[in-house]
Amino acid sequence: MSDCLFCSIVAGDIPATIVAECEHTIAFRDINPQAPVHILVIPRIHHPDIASLAAAEPVAAAALLTDARAIAEAEGFGHAYRLVFNTGAEAGQSVFHAHGHVLAGREFSWPPG
Ligand code: AMP
């Protein structure tokens, strides 16, 4: 999608600190980190949120989960990380291209604030 920020990152038109890539996903550091490790894992194809990605492209959705784990492990936190999918504006989603937040390196409370 031409007006999607994350599609522009996938296309290489907007710079990002990319930490991993595969056939289905790319992962890059969040510009406003909320933890010592804060990496976004996104599908290359555009879907507005994780629910629509999972419904339309289950292989890509599964790759996103697998890659999130591999990224946490590569950062030294395979044993303890948080994977967040904000889905919908009221749930805190601000970029409407599916993405998972891989967060690690500090303690996280439950329930989240
Ligand atoms: P969400 O609020 O769940 O939609 O998450 C969107 C995330 O994208 C936020 O954590 C932002 O800090 C992050 N973000 C926005 N623009 C960029 C960018 N250009 N590069 C990296 N992360 C970004």
Residue 98 has pLDDT above 80, yes or no: yes
Is residue 12 situated within a structural domain?
yes
106: CB partners within 8 A, 6+ apart: 35, 36
Q: Is 99 a catalytic residue?
A: yes
103: CB partners within 8 A, 6+ apart: 34, 35, 37, 38, 81, 82, 83, 84
Is residue 20 situated within a structural domain?
yes
User: Which is the catalytic residue, given 38, 47, 97, 99?
Assistant: 99
Span 52-84, pLDDT tens digits: 999 999 999 999 999 999 999 999 999 999 999
The answer to whether the CB of 87 is under 6 A from ligand 1 is no
Span 19-41, pLDDT tens digits: 999 999 999 999 999 999 999 99
CATH code for the domain of 66:
3.30.428.10
Count of structural domains, the chain: 1
Is residue 101 situated within a structural domain?
no
pTM of the model: 0.98
Yes or no: say if 29 and 19 are a contact pair by the CB < 8 Å rule: yes
Is residue 98 situated within a structural domain?
no
